[in-house]
């Protein structure tokens, strides 16, 4: 009479445990990456909203457009000083720009100093007239608004960043809006 065994052997249990562990670790890694993508999405959405807000302020006050002193801000230039009150919005374009910069500081991580000691507001923001992307020529019919914020290394999903370039700061994300005013 043949003897039949019931139950699982120790090897079968260990193999099952190994497969379940690998699956759970994969899910944890995927969850971590999902959180990074979500954070990048949130910050890009905030940057997009802020850029659109500034474009709408420019459209509402075309006398302050880049080329005059109002809404223009060159890279490596400081924003105007913030007025005492931003509500209601001041009537001068430069004061509106200063209030907008204050709003940016409250909504995005821009305060950490860059390699030369400046904040991102000074070094990586620009508002200018341009013919081509990422160049401020102060000519042309398009206005470009560039916003930047700081993240942890590897969390910025900018397609323009090249990790092999030693000069690229992989902790700075940028959003550019080019529009006709």
- For residue 35, is it within any domain? yes
Number of domains in the chain: 1
Nearest to 157 by CA among 47, 36, 51, 29: 36
* pTM to 2 decimal places: 0.77
- For residue 1, is it within any domain? no
Q: How confident is the model at residue 160 (pLDDT cuts 50, 70, 90)?
A: low
Q: Measured on CA atoms in the order 111, 100, 159, 133, is the torsion positive or negative?
A: negative
Nearest to 172 by CA among 112, 104, 100: 112
- For residue 110, is it within any domain? yes
Higher pLDDT, 22 or 134: 22
- For residue 6, is it within any domain? no
For residue 10, is pLDDT > 70? Answer: yes
Q: How confident is the model at residue 131 (pLDDT cuts 50, 70, 90)?
A: confident
For residue 69, is pLDDT > 70? Answer: no
Distance CA 59, CA 45 (A): 21
- For residue 9, is it within any domain? no
- For residue 140, is it within any domain? yes
Question: Could you list the residue range(s) of the whole structural domain that residue 176 is in?
Answer: 15-180
**Residue range 85-94, pLDDT digits in tens:** 998 989 889 8
- For residue 4, is it within any domain? no
- For residue 62, is it within any domain? yes
Q: What is the pLDDT of residue 21?
A: 96
**Residue range 111-125, pLDDT digits in tens:** 755 555 568 888 889
Task: Point out the least confidently predicted range of 44-48, 65-69, 98-102, 104-108.
Answer: 65-69
Mean pLDDT rounded to a whole number for the chain: 84
């Amino acid at each position: 009479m043949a003897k039949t065994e019931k139950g699982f052997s120790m090897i079968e249990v260990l193999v099952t445990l190994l497969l379940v562990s690998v699956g759970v670790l994969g899910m944890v890694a995927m969850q971590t990456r999902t959180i990074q993508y979500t954070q990048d999405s949130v910050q890009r959405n905030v940057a997009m909203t802020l850029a659109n807000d500034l474009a709408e302020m420019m459209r509402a006050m075309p006398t302050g457009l880049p080329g005059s002193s109002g809404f223009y801000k060159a890279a490596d230039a400081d924003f105007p000083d913030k007025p005492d009150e931003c509500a209601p919005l001041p009537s001068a374009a430069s004061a509106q720009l200063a209030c907008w910069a204050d709003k940016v500081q409250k909504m995005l991580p821009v305060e950490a100093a860059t390699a030369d000691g400046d904040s991102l507001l000074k070094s990586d923001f620009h508002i200018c007239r341009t013919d081509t992307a990422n160049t401020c020529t102060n000519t042309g019919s398009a206005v470009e608004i560039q916003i930047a914020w700081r993240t942890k290394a590897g969390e910025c999903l900018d397609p323009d960043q090249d990790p092999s370039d030693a000069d690229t700061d992989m902790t700075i994300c940028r959003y550019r809006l080019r529009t006709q005013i």
